[in-house]
Amino acid sequence: MNYNEEYKRWLTSATADADVAAELKAIENDPAKIEDAFYRNLAFGTGGLRGTIGAGTNRMNVYTVAKASQGLANYLVANFDAPSVAIGYDSRIKSDVFAKVVASVFAANGVQVNIWPELLPVPTVSFATRYLGTSAGVMVTASHNPSKYNGYKVYGADGCQITTEAAAEILAEIEKLDIFADVKRSDFESGVADGQIKYISEDVLTAFVEEVKKQSLLDDSVKVDKNVAIVYSPLNGTGLKPVLRTLKETGYTNITVVKEQEQPDGNFPTCPYPNPEIKEAMALGMEYAKKCNADLLLATDPDCDRVGIAVKNDAGEYVLLSGNETGMLLLDYVCQRRVAMGTMPKDPVLCKTIVTIDMADRIAADYGVSTVNLLTGFKFIGEQIGRLEKEGKADSYIFGFEESYGYLSGTYVRDKDAVDGAFLICEMFAYYKTQGISLIDKLNSLYEKYGYCLNTLHSYEFDGSAGFAKMQDIMAEFHKGLDTIGGKKVIECQDYSKGLNGLPKSDVLKFMLEGNCSVVVRPSGTEPKLKTYISVSAVNRDTAEKEEQIICDELARKFV
């Protein structure tokens, strides 16, 4: 594609959206910006689309969203007798606009549209797809990315994010299209009036909340104090309504919401990077927790599929827990309570990703639970749930989690769910607090039993076309192999680009190091970043941190 010619075509054809038209005019004398906006088409894959909002083929705008929807519509019409779709959107800039564009394209192609009438968490789209029996689901979201991003996530009829094969077929349909000449659009309001577009009823949201509530692991024999003081932040996203509703309906009423982050706002004014993995995003919530003398701080990301927490230590200071630490606590709680209640299935299964802490495998094994390690991305956990269901073993799944703060304890959705995560965390916290045990105490007891393990994530950003090329060069160097990392001998290199352990091929390398340590290197599937995951086992935290720093410093030099 000649990006200068495509830019000129957009100048004359992309006139319907005022924001896009104005930006096209504004970059007229800036060749670098024109190149970055048009040097490629925004990539479509198993994660759908994700990119910065703006004008151009490499941006999220009404035209690229409509083209992707036309390709998906063509795929659905070819593969389903009466195709239908469930659509949702989050609080991001233009998410509501893009959702209506998606709906209008599907309606124009004869695809029955079911759309949530308000912004809601991403797992509600997975749920609605299964509950309503639609052919697919679309969620307009960029998850935890900064405000300049938006995205387009696609679910299959099973409620899982689309498979590699389906993504390839949809991409083939998209690539056949001219972005201006081949996209059908109808009027959204007319579609609502004639029934081609239907709003999803409140009953479906109620059904979703009821499924979350069923994940409780308390029975009549256990009494807990649910009057624990909770501070909650939806980080200006979608979690406010479903999280508060679920908690209040299950007896947690002592909840303070972070006012500045309560209402939806795609600009995220108090947390530019609205990701509970990042301590800056939790800072305002920590201030609230201190003022309220809260027992527990919860924060969900904008599309409410990740949840981060902070709790008090023995000195009364608030400590942020990592996704791995919270996941291990939840895993141990789920196993412990299922054993106590007599609900542990015959062949229980834990699902987690290959970059998630290996210590979880040891906890699971102690309870007789098998661990299935999968590629990065909760979609692979969702697919595994589907496989178990087809084998008549859906009840075997007891928990799934990934280090990036994603958790799921049931099979009612096929994606991570922070409504479920927040609910289970509050229940676990109240359960232990009633016994005089803090989550820090419980975590330390796990380390004492299974050995200390430190897992860290480091991201390296590479923007633009030059950055994209550099990322490819760096990965090529890693594929050549390493003898040592941070002074530790490389025992084995697991190259997932070859399709290891029956998993789909993915550009991921896992270096197994001596001393039960490991390093994973992979490109992000949704951002212009390379990510490294470092796992260090040691006698204590201080030693682990020192060894991790040595490894981190050596890896960082390779990314310069």
Tokens encoding 248: 């209040």
Q: State how far the alpha carbon of 390 is from the alpha carbons of 248, 320, 346, 396, 531, in Å.
A: 35, 39, 17, 12, 34
Record the tokens describing residue 22, joined without a space.
């104005």
Centroid of chain to Cα 201 = 25
Angle (CA) 44-555-377 rounded to 5° is 30
Reported for 97-100, long-range contacts at CB under 8 A and 24+ positions apart, including other chains, are: 97/62, 98/60, 98/62, 98/65, 98/140, 98/150, 98/152, 99/140, 100/188
Q: Map residue 241 onto helix, strand or coil.
A: helix
If 0-12 CB within 10 Å is exposed, 13-18 middle and 19+ buried, where does residue 183 land? buried
Q: Is residue 85 helix, strand or coil?
A: strand
Q: What are the Cα distances from residue 113, in Å, to 438, 501, 555?
A: 47, 38, 48
Q: Using an 8 Å Cβ cutoff, are 270 and 237 in contact?
A: no
The verdict on whether 322 is a catalytic residue reads no
- φ/ψ of 375, rounded to 5, equals -65, 160
Say if residues 528 and 471 touch (Cβ distance below 8 Å): yes
The answer to whether the CB of 365 falls within 8 A of the CB of 348 is: no
Return the structure tokens found at 407: 């958790």
Strand partners, 310: 297, 320
* β strands within 172-257, DSSP E: 197-199, 230-233, 255-257
| Exposed / middle / buried, residue 195 (Cβ in 10 Å: 0-12, 13-18, 19+) | exposed
Residues with Cβ < 8 Å from 85, sequence gap 6 or more?
Answer: 76, 106, 111, 112, 113, 114, 134, 135, 136, 137, 138
Q: In what order do the strands lie in the sheet with 197-199?
A: 49-52, 149-156, 136-140, 84-89, 112-115, 197-199
CA angle 65, 71, 72 (to 5 degrees): 85
CB atoms within 10 A of CB 263: 12
Out of 143, 233, 396, 404, the active site residue is 143
Q: What is the 3-state secondary structure (H, E, C) of 481-544?
A: CCCEECCEEEEEEEEHHHCHHHCCCCCCEEEEECCCEEEEEEECCCCCEEEEEEEEEECCHHHH
Lookup: tokens for 480: 């050549």
Hey, which residues are catalytic here? Answer: 143
